[in-house]
Amino acid sequence: MRCDVSSPEDVALLSRAVADLGGASIVIHNAAIFPIGPYEQITFAEWRHVCPSTLDSMLLLAEAFLPSMREQRWGRIVAISSAMVHAGSPGALHYVASKGGIIGLIRSLAREIGPYGVTINGIAPGLIRSHGTSQAVHDEMNLFETSIGVQAIKRTGQPEDLTGALSYLVSDEAGFVTGQTWVVDGGYV
């Protein structure tokens, strides 16, 4: 179903629809908006558009799905952050700040939900070739070539590069791993 994850009303509808299907024990948060531009040109309205889509949506999803996970005493939440949090990035101030907030939320929430058998972790990918990053602006700025130039692994990251870490973090084997954010960036950071 379509859902604006920055809208409390939409997330509540999503939560009810998922509950009607039996509930969720695994939630993957991968929402973000990635406008590019110098910090002097970022308006407060744009900041308030980027941050809710990334950070507020993570909180809303946690609030919506954690009660049933706590009740069943098992659950996995994985949030996608960004390796840019560790390196910084010109032209992406609001994006990087909101993704950094995700890491803080993961660390703090892990301490609260851990006693219930629920883990929360993150993955901080480098630049991954995806629908969202295949916009002309990424190519115009040579972001892929620049990333490859400083990565240890000299190729563009693909969505499949995240599946191993993601599969592990949602598994039973990761039951003692929580509050962590794994950088998966080809050795960029």
pLDDT surpassing 70 at residue 138: no
Neighbours of 5 (CB within 10 A): 20
**Structure confidence at residue 136 as a pLDDT band (50, 70, 90):** low
The token pair that represents 167 in the structure block: 């599969």
Whether the pTM exceeds 0.85: the reply is: yes
Domains and CATH numbers, the chain: 8-184 (3.40.50.720)
Which residue in 95, 116, 168, 188 is the catalytic one? 95
For the segment 69-118, what is each residue's pLDDT rounded down to a tens digit?
Answer: 999 999 999 999 999 999 888 888 899 999 999 999 999 999 999 999 99
Active site residue 95: yes
Average model confidence (pLDDT) for the chain? Answer: 91
Tell whether the torsion through CA atoms of 100, 160, 135 and 142 is positive or negative.
Answer: positive
For the segment 7-44, what is each residue's pLDDT rounded down to a tens digit?
Answer: 999 999 999 999 999 999 999 999 988 788 888 998 99
